[in-house]
Amino acid sequence: MPILRRRGWEIPESQVTAESLMLNRRGVLAGAGALSIGGALVAPRAARAQAAALTRNPTFEAGRDLTEEKFSTTYNNFYEFNDSKNLWKEAQAFKQRPWALKVDGMVKQPRTFDLDDLLKQVQQEERIYRHRCVETWAMTVPWSGFALSQLLALVEPLGSAKYVMFETAQDKSMHGLNAPFYPWPYIEGLAIDEAANDLAFMVTGMYGKPVPPQNGGPLRIALPWKYGFKSAKSIVKMTFTDKRPSTFWEAIQSSEYGFWANVNPEVAHPRWSQAHERLLGSDERVPTKLFNGYAAFVAGLYTDRKSEKLFM
């Protein structure tokens, strides 16, 4: 295990519940093995009986309190269901297994993974990330999952692949799909070097449990340095390509939602300032940071892209 350098914005371990260190479903963690960073994790006996400890990666902690689960799982953006924030009840009808992830396009090993098989081939961990929606609300969540770079290693993108595209499921439980105005399916994308960056995280859990359907279960991505709409939910397909994908929100309104969409407090949305954010739960108003505070990880991705519209 490499030594993980602690960073200034970390929060003390005591602020994270024991539950958040656990996944409570047998099998979800198969393959994670007895991985341990920073010492033993003690779980309640009952939980220990059915779960393997999931190690929290201390590199990525958030420097502010976690958002209470009851807020982050009941205030959601998931337009496939509806365009209010109140869709979590509806989303419970969305079946999360079996789940297939198809990987195609410019890769050496195109294939379709069964999600549970895929999880046996990667090392899972927990990371606390800040999340910043373009609408200015924000939250702080203990996600669990695996680095996207591990999936890249399994499928081996060709040298000619420049981008990867993510596509969300279209399920019969999603009544918002009937709204004709939207260019379904929900598509998002990253440049390959962004996808290979250590921060890009494939999420299967939240607060130590499977990520619920309203938050993009059973498989979403978390890209904490970008506005939230880049983090596609309920992913069924990844396509490697040499052409920049036309993404869902960019197709709807490119002047407001660009491809790069990196967080920047100094670049206002055409209709509102991005200087501050509102924390879900407390409603506290706090200053927004460049790259949502993750510049140390990702600023280097953009030094040769200065001519692009990087921040909106």
Ligand X SMILES: Nc1nc2c(c(=O)[nH]1)N[C@H]1C(S)=C(S)[C@@H](COP(=O)(O)O)O[C@H]1N2
Binding site for Mo ion (CB under 5 A): 77, 133-134, 228-229
CB nearer to ligand X: give 125 or 277.
277
Binding partner at 186 among Mo ion, ligand X, none, C-beta below 5 to 8 Å by kind: ligand X
| In the complex, least distance from residue 31 CB atom to ligand X, rounded to whole angstroms | 25
Binding partner at 55 among ligand X, Mo ion, none, C-beta below 5 to 8 Å by kind: none
Q: Closest Cα to residue 295, out of 244, 233, 243, 224?
A: 224
Q: Closest Cα to residue 311, out of 253, 269, 239, 262?
A: 262
Burial of 42 from C-beta contacts in 10 A (0-12 / 13-18 / 19+): exposed
Q: Provide the binding-site residues for ligand X, judged by CB under 6 A.
A: 76-80, 133, 168, 186, 215-216, 228-229, 231-233
CB nearer to ligand X: give 124 or 247.
247
Q: Are 136 and 274 a contacting pair, CB within 8 Å?
A: yes
Closest residue to ligand X, based on beta-carbon distance: 228
| In the complex, least distance from residue 98 CB atom to ligand X, rounded to whole angstroms | 19
Q: Are 146 and 221 a contacting pair, CB within 8 Å?
A: no
Residue 213, helix vs strand vs coil: helix
Residue 148 to residue 39: CA distance in whole angstroms: 25
| In the complex, least distance from residue 69 CB atom to ligand X, rounded to whole angstroms | 11
- Token couple for 301: 């991705």
| In the complex, least distance from residue 38 CB atom to ligand X, rounded to whole angstroms | 27
CB nearer to ligand X: give 52 or 203.
203
CB nearer to ligand X: give 110 or 185.
185
